Amino acid sequence: MARYEIMGGARLEGSVTISGAKNAAVAILPAALLVNGVCRIENVPDISDVRILLSILEGLGANVQKPEENVVVIDATAIHSTVPEAALVKKMRASYYLMGSLLGRFGHCHVALPGGCNFATRPIDQHIKGFKALGANVEETEEYVALQPGEEGLQGNRVCLDMASVGATANIMMAGVLLEGQTIIENAAKEPHIVDLANFLNTMGAQVSGAGTDTVKIRGVQQLQGGTYTIIPDQIEAGTYMAAAAVTGGNVLVKNVIPKHMDCITSKLEEMGAEVIIYDDAIRIKGNGRLQAATVKTRPYPGFPTDMQAQICVCMTLAEGVSRLTESVYETRFFGYCTELESMGAKIEISGKTAEVTGREKLKGTTVVARDLRAGAALVMAGLCAEGTTRVENIHFIERGYENLIEKFTALGATIRRIDD
């Protein structure tokens, strides 16, 4: 099993270029199945979740080419199967998007239940509710979901989500773009990757409006044609490097970001004492001495993202004073990393949805285990700050979502290497 070995103590300095957004890419690549033509998708991050998805698409009969770094060309005109390979589907969470895209294009599919980061119970009842509202018959077992047109066929309809689920919003959008009539998603998720998916679909000829607001409207069209699309930068990867710069007292220019997407993270780091300079498509972060304690509550976009919970927690473990961190999207997310941070000397008391973090002057290196993607990134950050050597195990979780992490941190002056046993 591979692991990262990090020698702590470096202040991060220099610049880092942010890759394409994982959570946009993992929706847009399956959405290419809806297109009757060739899609050229640029700024695709080279991460393991993307590689798995591309293998799944090839298995279904799509022609997938990678003409240049971070560019993927998909031609899904000759798809011959609506049953994605279960073993691959189970390797990642976002494979649930194959349900919406295959239902949307072919009217039926048989998709294994997804795997991926299991930091919480992650039901898909809202996705299913949406497919049913569009007229699908749903057979759901512990192993798979099979979708067929119901007696009255598939058609656009109104769906009101019980919670603003990212996955359900994107899945229903994909299922609706080629249906007759209008699909309206109420209480839709507003994350940047929802807007990016809508922009991709519209570039290919769909009629999606309202993405980024509570109500998304999809007027069905007969066919999507090919085109070229560039994926947005990754909000969470950017936030991770920003937090790492701040907590190491560094000075880092984070390039290729959409500053608006970073507002909540930027203002929290400023509140904790970091200096932030915002440019058109870059943000400079300077850590001015020890960070100060803060109160953070995770919320759906435009709130502070749950996917930054673990990274801001690392900042809190070294901040002056007592911080409060409340999780409102996935209650059990603390358990993926807090014990590991405690083994490095952090002081964290969890009570229900809230962690009370008492800042320490230092953390010490030890061997820790990544239990999910963001927890793993946070442990890397902790290792960068700790005295001595930190070994992070289970790094396959981290490599699902961070492109060239070793190269990017090394270029910023960190001492970090990947060790394959």
Residue closer to ligand EPU, measured from CB, 121 or 351: 121
Q: Retrieve residue 344's tokens.
A: 């490095």
Q: CA 246 to CA 11: how far, in whole Å?
A: 9
Q: Binding of ligand EPU at residue 165 (CB under 6 A)?
A: yes
Residue closer to ligand EPU, measured from CB, 197 or 252: 197
What is the arrangement of strands in the sheet containing 295-297, beginning at the earlier edge strand? 295-297, 322-326, 354-358, 347-351
Binding range to ligand EPU, per CB under 6 A, among 141-149, 159-167, 219-227, 271-279: 159-167
Residue closer to ligand EPU, measured from CB, 131 or 293: 131
Residue nearest to ligand EPU as judged by C-beta position: 167
Residue closer to ligand EPU, measured from CB, 61 or 210: 210
- At residue 128, the 3 state secondary structure works out as helix
**Catalytic residue selected from 109, 117, 313, 385:** 117
Q: Which residues pair with 355 in a beta bridge?
A: 325, 350
CA angle 281, 284, 289 (to 5 degrees): 160
Identify the residue among 40, 93, 105, 190 touching ligand EPU (CB under 6 A): 93
Minimum CB distance to ligand EPU, residue 120 (Å):
6
How many CB atoms are located within 10 Å of the residue 110 CB? 17
User: Is 315 among the catalytic positions?
Assistant: no
What would the x/- binding string for ligand EPU be over residues 120 to 149, using CB under 6 A? --xxxxxx----------------------
Minimum CB distance to ligand EPU, residue 420 (Å):
24
Minimum CB distance to ligand EPU, residue 123 (Å):
4
The footprint of ligand EPU on this chain (CB under 6 A) covers a number of residues equal to 25
- At residue 247, the 3 state secondary structure works out as helix
If we measure between CA atoms, which residue out of 392, 400, 394 comes closest to residue 368?
A: 392
Q: How far is CA 118 from the centre of its chain?
A: 14
Residue closer to ligand EPU, measured from CB, 264 or 291: 264
Q: Are 191 and 173 in contact (CB under 8 A)?
A: no
Q: CA 52 to CA 199: how far, in whole Å?
A: 24
Burial class (CB in 10 A: 0-12, 13-18, 19+), 316: buried
Minimum CB distance to ligand EPU, residue 279 (Å):
25
Sequence-separated (6 or more) residues with CB below 8 Å from residue 241: 12, 16, 18, 252, 254, 408, 412
Q: Binding of ligand EPU at residue 235 (CB under 6 A)?
A: no
Binding range to ligand EPU, per CB under 6 A, among 13-21, 119-127, 308-316, 390-398: 119-127
If we measure between CA atoms, which residue out of 380, 373, 370, 343 comes closest to residue 5?
A: 380
CA angle 131, 135, 138 (to 5 degrees): 55
Q: Binding of ligand EPU at residue 373 (CB under 6 A)?
A: yes
How many CB atoms are located within 10 Å of the residue 402 CB? 27
Minimum CB distance to ligand EPU, residue 138 (Å):
13
Identify the residue among 19, 23, 240, 317 touching ligand EPU (CB under 6 A): 23
Chain positions 271 to 330 lying near ligand EPU, rule: CB under 6 A, are: 306-307, 329-330
Q: How far is CA 38 from the centre of its chain?
A: 25
Q: Binding of ligand EPU at residue 172 (CB under 6 A)?
A: no
Minimum CB distance to ligand EPU, residue 165 (Å):
3
Direct distance between the N- and C-terminal alpha carbons of the chain, in angstroms, rounded to an integer: 6
Q: Binding of ligand EPU at residue 180 (CB under 6 A)?
A: no
Q: Which residue has the tokens 């009570």?
A: 351
Minimum CB distance to ligand EPU, residue 343 (Å):
22
Identify the residue among 52, 189, 276, 315 touching ligand EPU (CB under 6 A): 189
Minimum CB distance to ligand EPU, residue 277 (Å):
27
Q: CA 105 to CA 177: how far, in whole Å?
A: 9
Residue closer to ligand EPU, measured from CB, 127 or 365: 127
If we measure between CA atoms, which residue out of 219, 242, 211 comes closest to residue 27?
A: 211
Residue closer to ligand EPU, measured from CB, 123 or 352: 123
User: Which residues of this chain interact with ligand EPU, rule CB under 6 A?
Assistant: 22-23, 26, 93-94, 117, 122-127, 163, 165-168, 189, 306-307, 329-330, 373-374, 401
Catalytic (active-site) positions: 117
